[in-house]
Amino acid sequence: MSGTGPALIICTCGGALAGRLVFDRLAATPGFGPVMVTQDFCMPEGWRRAAVWCRQAGADVLVVAACGTPAATEALGRVATAAGLDAHRATVVDVREACAWVHPEPRWATAKGVRLIAAAAAGLTEAVRTPPPAEIIPSGRVLVVGPSRAGLAAAGRLRELGCQVVVLDPSRSDSSRASPAGDPTSPDSVPIPGRLLEVTGQAGDFTARVETAEGILDLRVGAVIVAVEPPAHVPPPDTSSLLTLLAMERWIATAGTTPSLHGKTVAFLLEDCPWPSATESALSLALSLVRQGGRSLIYYRDLGVAGRGLEERFREARHAGVTFIRMESDPPRIGERDGRWVVEVDVPGLGLFAETADVLVRGDAARPPDLGDLAEALRVDLRPDGRGPGERMPLEPVFTERPGVFWIGPSRSPCTVDQAIRHGEAAAMAALAAAAPGRRAVSVQAIVDTGRCALCLTCLRVCPHRAVTIGDGPAIEVLPAACQGCGVCAAACPAGAIQMVEAPGRRLLAELDALLSGPALDGDPIIMFACANSAVPAARTLGRLRHAYADRILLVSVPCLGRIEPEHCLRPLAAGARRVLLCGCYDRSCQHLVGPRRARMAAERAAVVAGALGLDGGAIQTASVAPVDWHRLAALLDAVAAVAEEGGAGDRAARGEAAGERAAEGSAAGERTVKVGTGKVAA
Amino acid sequence: MLTCTALVVGSGVAGLTAAQALAARGLSVMVVEQGSVVGGHAAGYACKAGADCVLCGVCLAAQGIRSLRAAPGPVVRVDTSVVALEGSPGRFTARLVQRARGIDVARCTACGLCVRVCPVGAISPLPWAEEPRACVLDFDACLRASGNPCALCREACPFGAVRLEPGTREDTVTAAVVVVATGFTPFPASAKSRFGYGRLPGVITTMDLEQGLRQQGTAYLEHQAPAGRRLAFVHCVGSRDVAAGRGWCSQVCCPTALRLARRLAGDVPDLEATLFFMDLQRCAPGIARLFRVLPPEIHLVRGLPAEVRAGTGGLVVTYEDLATATRCQGEFDVIVLAVGMDGPPSVGGLPEGTGGFLTDLPRGVVAAGACGGPVSIAEAAAEGLRAAGAALKTLEELACPVPGRH
Ligand SMILES: Cc1cc2nc3c(=O)[nH]c(=O)nc-3n(C[C@H](O)[C@H](O)[C@H](O)COP(=O)(O)OP(=O)(O)OC[C@H]3O[C@@H](n4cnc5c(N)ncnc54)[C@H](O)[C@@H]3O)c2cc1C
Ligand code: SF4
Ligand code: SF4
Ligand code: SF4
Ligand code: SF4
């Protein structure tokens, strides 16, 4: 129903907010129609009452001024459903943790609350309607690339769970050896020699193009698990006396025994190999040689024993007679005498220590095969060392940036046998979630206006989750099961053709404009864009600790800092904001991988434009914080407020009365301020 | 008696991940947690980022807790221990003991009115806890423990959330499959009396430091030793030590000690940290690089200290430097013992192997995370996924009419 305007519900939290907020002034926030004041919005009786009221008020937009708890958000969802409101037309504004608890003077806390409420309403009024969810019909089949231990563990578990599995063996793809022409679509087929060329589509509904002996074929799969192993060289014949660990392992695995090593001395050089996987294979080889009457020497600097059962096996090997030699600084000096190797090391306390050996085995950190083509086929990035996907916290230890694509085994990071199998089974479960048959509804988070789209393909390039594709038309399409709603594409699109459902472009600006006007705060506003994954939870903890900070700091929650455009930084400065702060995750902890980097780019560009417009480009700042680290956030907020204070000294003098008032109220508040830890806590 | 299809014991990273994965497959899942908050050990650790994140995984754990409310999600019961487990696949029964929390989690809004009126400070609003956002009443501190009829908090609570009846309640829950994710117990550092933990001021553990940093920031260090700027980290305390009955490497303490030392060296001016170790474990993601590029304030010494004594100018550490094979002494203000991981608290009916870690569990019971052996946070999350898969497999094999399947 239109005409009533947005509706407002104010929750006093059982009266706990009385005296900290002026409810009459909150209720008088301009632009609202009906207003309800309640005291128990998150309780069942409270939200039921609110739902009835909301229906009667006929509101089509609802703002609830309450607390930042999950319970309040849940209650909001219930009210919206009961009142027949679109989920994206209702929101909670946290006036408890963000105002009442952190700004000791009720006057300023209320003024900030009014701005937050008005901004929320402005954002909602402009919001797009929730599009219907997209439907995915997963294929029920998973492609495993690489019949390694990890890959076979994944395949085995998936079959046990009723999934079809196709295992591709890229290491044999170009071998001329005749291989059983397995049918890739039959559920229990053996690994098929073949190469992965391209994976298009989204989790649940990928098309994997593979090249096999039969030619090129397209497979429909719901998930892809990469588990390739280092190439299987068959090592040189047993005359060789210089091997790598991997070669020796393969050799023994193929030959079954090593008669030629009977009674011989083998030296393992692990000085540059602190990996548990290297320790694991060296220990088992050394032990078997010793048990066959030979001698084993293991040279090491740091023995990698951080794997299940490795320390125990190390002790077993020592008792069985394997010699361990710890070296310090220099690498061992290797020479030859009478057809045998001489290994010389400087052992602290013992001096030069020489041993002769028949065979030298060098630890290699199980170097992966060249993964470039595979990574390109999957559109997944490699690390600088050429291994599997990026060294990022959110991707550890089996995920990649592309939903539905998983990466495990030694081509990701050196891992022990036990770990490879565990990761295989973990990836199987993750793949099942994407591929399991049965219709799945996926909410749509980004909408492309094909009329505006200039087909510049910027979105295709920047989307961190590979969710953008070129569909029929040709037209840009966002794949809903891949899209994670970060908004990086919307921020980057030069034509403004992409709208986010949670925070569409216009909505964020509308919200900003509303936030920048309204009742006076104690100083010019400081706008802080806060990442919903890190800065928002940290700020909420500050609120729960009732840690006081400057009320002029206004938080604007964004799904990811990558959502921020230069315009978002400039608009506040033009409207008189003192500073603009972009606060989110660290580069390596960002769920969307590129958020902080893109925020820095946006800030830099905004600073340049600001200079041209005669605004203070230096007032735009980026910062990182973890969701659990409220200390850093508190220090950051204090520092930002202090800088803004200095910068604003001139106009503060002009607004002298406000400052005087603040000083008077501040001293009264000061008495209620106690020190806890590093932070000030408002009583 | 309660029922569910999958019971998850413990709400650490492993348990939560398993529970969420199983609930997402449409099963009815119950998580039972003995603590007052969800998240296990990792929910209490500190971020160790310097200029960039050092991949410690603590925010990953926080993320998992925050996503707990996503539908369809598991049912979580806090303040409840599983004390015994029996039965066979398809029909397990777990005995539960629920400790009174004093506050009804479903009705508390953490508004703090009760906290303010309590004359003896017996109620904590747990401001650091992600879930549940509800206060806890300490019945031992409450005036009613000594017969006083005080009920100020009950009167103050606008939502009727205060329940002043102490004690425990027993219950049982049946489940077709069980995921045990009971985690680990930190090594009791006072058992190594030569390091002076609990005896010498300034000797703390990495666990203390993690939690102190999380709650108080770097001020925690100030409380341990005012103006103390010389730190020593002792590795392998209660790990790789057959004499102490702990012959395993705990895997996480090398990276944790380094990350903590880096964070402190970055945040506290003039701080110097020395790491005493046997072998540096650098297999955790990103750790090899951190060890390679050490800031000048961090020193590495190969060799574990023999003992820690109180000296005139601080705490005196005697050790043998293995790189030079010399006996040395060093003076420090704070000694941080990098404690290892012991097995989980016992649950009746579950077999324990070396160190109390769970092995050879009966069919239908799956171990996830640190209760099966030391793991990091990221690995615990993978373990949760793996265990969820194993539990589903058992259900698949049983093909039994699964009670409570959605
Ligand atoms: C000092 C220290 C620092 C560390 N720092 C890091 C780090 O920086 N990064 C990292 O990756 N890892 C770190 N770790 C390792 C990390 O703590 C573990 O990987 C992680 O906590 C394991 O998670 P979990 O779920 O297996 O067990 P836990 O976190 O131990 O959770 C188990 C849960 O089960 C509950 N429980 C136990 N028994 C019962 C029962 N009978 N009934 C009901 N509930 C029960 C417990 O209350 C607990 O909440 C550290 C470890 C230590 C000792
Ligand atoms: S919102 Fe993020 S994940 Fe979705 S399409 Fe845009 S850039 Fe990709
Ligand atoms: S250091 Fe740890 S808590 Fe901090 S951002 Fe990185 S992973 Fe998260
Ligand atoms: S009954 Fe009294 S003493 Fe006990 S918790 Fe409540 S207010 Fe505190
Ligand atoms: S991780 Fe390091 S400190 Fe911990 S037990 Fe292993 S070697 Fe010792």
Question: Is the minimum distance from the CB of B240 to ligand 5 under 6 angstroms?
Answer: yes
Q: Which pLDDT score, from 0 to 100, does residue A664 have?
A: 39
> Cβ A631–B218 below 8 Å, yes or no?
yes
A184: pLDDT strictly greater than 60: no
- Residue A489 counted as domain residue: no
Q: Which pLDDT score, from 0 to 100, does residue B288 have?
A: 87
- The CATH number assigned to the domain holding A199 equals 3.50.50.60
> A392 and A256, same structural domain?
no
Q: What is the mean pLDDT of residues A32-50?
A: 95
Of A171-180, A203-212, A226-235, B383-392, where does mean pLDDT reach its minimum? A171-180
Question: What whole-number distance in Å separates Cα of residue B271 and Cα of residue B268?
Answer: 6
Minimal-distance CA residue of chain B relative to A419: B379
- Residue B403 counted as domain residue: no
Q: Please state, in angstroms and as integers, the Cα–Cα distance from residue A121 to each residue in A25, A56, A90, A353, following that order.
A: 16, 19, 9, 78
> A429 and A384, same structural domain?
yes
> B114 and B93, same structural domain?
no
> B51 and B80, same structural domain?
yes
Between A and B, how many residue pairs show a Cβ–Cβ distance under 8 A? Answer: 221
For A:308-367, CB contacts with B below 8 A are 308-312, 315, 326, 328-329, 348-350
> A581 and A626, same structural domain?
yes
- Residue B14 counted as domain residue: yes
DSSP 8-state secondary structure symbol assigned to residue B74: -
Q: What is the mean pLDDT of residues A67-86?
A: 92
For A:416-455, CB contacts with B below 8 A are 419, 422-423, 425-430, 432-433, 436
- Residue A9 counted as domain residue: yes
- Residue A515 counted as domain residue: no
Q: Which pLDDT score, from 0 to 100, does residue A327 have?
A: 86
> B324 and B297, same structural domain?
yes
> A676 and A562, same structural domain?
yes
Question: What whole-number distance in Å separates Cα of residue A56 and Cα of residue A34?
Answer: 10
What DSSP element (H or E) covers A352? strand A351-357
pLDDT, tens only, A543-587: 999 999 999 999 999 999 999 999 999 999 999 999 999 999 999
A653: pLDDT strictly greater than 60: no
Residues of chain A positioned with their CB less than 8 A from the CB of B242 = 315
Q: What is the mean pLDDT of residues A149-155?
A: 96
Please check whether residue B343 is in contact with residue B247, taking contact to mean a CB–CB distance below 8 angstroms. no
pLDDT, tens only, B263-274: 999 999 999 999
**Strand intervals (E) in A213-260:** 215-221, 223-226, 242-244
Distance B12 CA to ligand 1 centre (A): 6
Q: Which pLDDT score, from 0 to 100, does residue A672 have?
A: 31
The domain total for chain B is 3
- Residue B257 counted as domain residue: yes
The closest CB to that of B378, out of A311, A396, A425, belongs to: A396
> A377 and A337, same structural domain?
no
> Cβ B382–A70 below 8 Å, yes or no?
no
- The CATH number assigned to the domain holding A588 equals 3.40.50
Spell out the residues 6+ positions from residue A321 whose beta carbon is closer than 8 angstroms to its own.
A290, A295
- Residue B404 counted as domain residue: no
> B321 and B200, same structural domain?
yes
Q: Which pLDDT score, from 0 to 100, does residue A662 have?
A: 39
- Residue A132 counted as domain residue: no
A298: pLDDT strictly greater than 70: yes
pLDDT below 70 — which residues of chain B?
400-406
- Residue A560 counted as domain residue: yes
> Cβ B323–A585 below 8 Å, yes or no?
no
> A256 and A179, same structural domain?
no
**Strand intervals (E) in A222-259:** 223-226, 242-244
Please check whether residue B241 is in contact with residue B189, taking contact to mean a CB–CB distance below 8 angstroms. no
Ligand nearest to the CA of A498: 2
> B54 and B180, same structural domain?
yes
Q: Which one, of B366, B346, B378, B340, lies nearest residue B13 by Cα?
A: B378
Residues of chain B positioned with their CB less than 8 A from the CB of A541 = 127-128
Ligand nearest to the CA of B165: 4
A438: pLDDT strictly greater than 50: yes
> B136 and B87, same structural domain?
no
pLDDT, tens only, A246-264: 878 877 777 666 667 778 8
> A373 and A319, same structural domain?
no
> B137 and B281, same structural domain?
no
> A570 and A424, same structural domain?
no
A234: pLDDT strictly greater than 70: no
- Residue B402 counted as domain residue: no
Please check whether residue A278 is in contact with residue A307, taking contact to mean a CB–CB distance below 8 angstroms. no
Query: Residue B357: which domain range?
Result: 2-100+167-184+343-397
Ligand 5: atom nearest CA of B278 is: 7
- Residue A497 counted as domain residue: no
- Residue A578 counted as domain residue: yes
> A532 and A655, same structural domain?
yes
Q: Which pLDDT score, from 0 to 100, does residue A504 have?
A: 63
Residues of chain A positioned with their CB less than 8 A from the CB of B62 = 537, 627-628
> B327 and B198, same structural domain?
yes
Question: What whole-number distance in Å separates Cα of residue A92 and Cα of residue A86?
Answer: 14
- The CATH number assigned to the domain holding B295 equals 3.50.50.60
> A221 and A304, same structural domain?
no
Minimal-distance CA residue of chain A relative to B116: A683
A658: pLDDT strictly greater than 50: no
> A530 and A671, same structural domain?
yes
Question: What whole-number distance in Å separates Cα of residue A540 and Cα of residue A532?
Answer: 11
- The tokens describing A104, both together, are 């000791």
Distance B213 CA to ligand 3 centre (A): 13
> B231 and B116, same structural domain?
no
Of A400, A401, A448, A465, the residue with max ligand 2 atoms within 8 A of its CB, to mutate for a pocket test, comes to A465
> B387 and B252, same structural domain?
no
The domain total for chain A is 5
* pLDDT-derived band at A176, boundaries 50, 70, 90: very low
Distance A390 CA to ligand 5 centre (A): 26
Q: Which one, of A119, A9, A118, A124, lies nearest residue A55 by Cα?
A: A9
Write down which residue in A127, A162, A187 finishes a domain: A127
Query: Residue A454: which domain range?
Result: 443-481
Please check whether residue A633 is in contact with residue A640, taking contact to mean a CB–CB distance below 8 angstroms. no
- The CATH number assigned to the domain holding B153 equals 3.30.70
- Residue B405 counted as domain residue: no
A667: pLDDT strictly greater than 50: no
> B35 and B175, same structural domain?
yes
Write down which residue in A452, A481, A510 finishes a domain: A481
DSSP 8-state secondary structure symbol assigned to residue A667: H
> B277 and B198, same structural domain?
yes
Give nearest CA residue, ligand 4 atom 7: B118
pLDDT, tens only, B274-320: 999 999 998 888 898 899 899 999 999 999 999 999 999 999 999 99
Could you give the ipTM of this predicted complex?
0.95
Give nearest CA residue, ligand 5 atom 8: B236
* pLDDT-derived band at A190, boundaries 50, 70, 90: confident
Q: Which pLDDT score, from 0 to 100, does residue A186 have?
A: 52
Q: Which pLDDT score, from 0 to 100, does residue A424 have?
A: 98
Q: Which pLDDT score, from 0 to 100, does residue A245 have?
A: 84
Question: What whole-number distance in Å separates Cα of residue A533 and Cα of residue A487?
Answer: 14
Please check whether residue B45 is in contact with residue B56, taking contact to mean a CB–CB distance below 8 angstroms. yes
- Residue A494 counted as domain residue: no
> A90 and A200, same structural domain?
no
Q: Which pLDDT score, from 0 to 100, does residue A644 have?
A: 86
